[in-house]
Structure 1
Amino acid sequence: MQKNPRAGTMRMAAASFTGEVWLDPVFDGDGSSRLTVVLVRFTPGARSNRHSHANGQLLVCTDGVGLVATRDGNTVLLRAGESVWTPAGEEHFHGGTAEHMMCHYAILDAAGHADATTWREAVTDEQYAAANAAVAVQR
């Protein structure tokens, strides 16, 4: 057994996120595993750029209300205690809703990949508004 040292909270770079997004590393492999776990906090309106993961990603919401949307417009509302899986290669973005903060664990396995996340373009305000409208009936 090995304890993974914990780094401090980091504000995420504007190159990959819109709005205020904060990250706390939780686990970053132990030499034999490439499992990565981070706790991410999105303020209302904040979101990631579109991106994909080589081996997929599990998001587990711990607090607030957020959304996850794929490039083809499939959008899921995510509340505390709920999770969503994005399969390998699926382009998506996630973040808080327009009215709510959202905090989630992001869990991914980077095994076999030097860079497990491929970052794409920012989500426009219009695209973000459309994703919020798509889940408005679920609130």
Structure 2
Amino acid sequence: MITNDSSFQVSTDQTQLDIPMIYRFLSEQSTWAVGISRPVVERAIENSLCFGGYLDGRQIAFARVITDFATFANLVDVFVVPEFRGRGYGKQLVGVVLRHPSLQKLRRFTLATTDSHSLYERFGFTAPQRPETLMERYFPNIYLS
């Protein structure tokens, strides 16, 4: 358990994750994974470094990092359940993620966001310095097919 303050705690223990809650949020409430299947969510969690945020033992936040633990990481699926937003839990969660010992000295740490730029800018994230070098294959509605 990685403790952040006396009431909100963050853990990377995957056995503590509330998989049904994570699946429901991602498949029904997120703006990026609507329609995702539970097996895909489970496989993604299984193959990532995951962070659960807990308040009084209840999971209220989640973040997932896809990484090789040596040179690169991508922060994805960051959320705080709606009823707990606006209380600083997202900032605390991202802070714990970025301080994790296995995620230090990476050459590149990326993320994509449509509406949380100010949150991530606090932690040093910026627009790509050389966007002309980045490419992607992007299928935004793949889970609805």
* TM-score of Structure 1 vs Structure 2, range by shorter chain: under 0.3
| Larger helix fraction of residues | 2
TM-score normalised per structure 1: 0.28
TM-score normalised per structure 2: 0.27
| Larger strand fraction of residues | 1
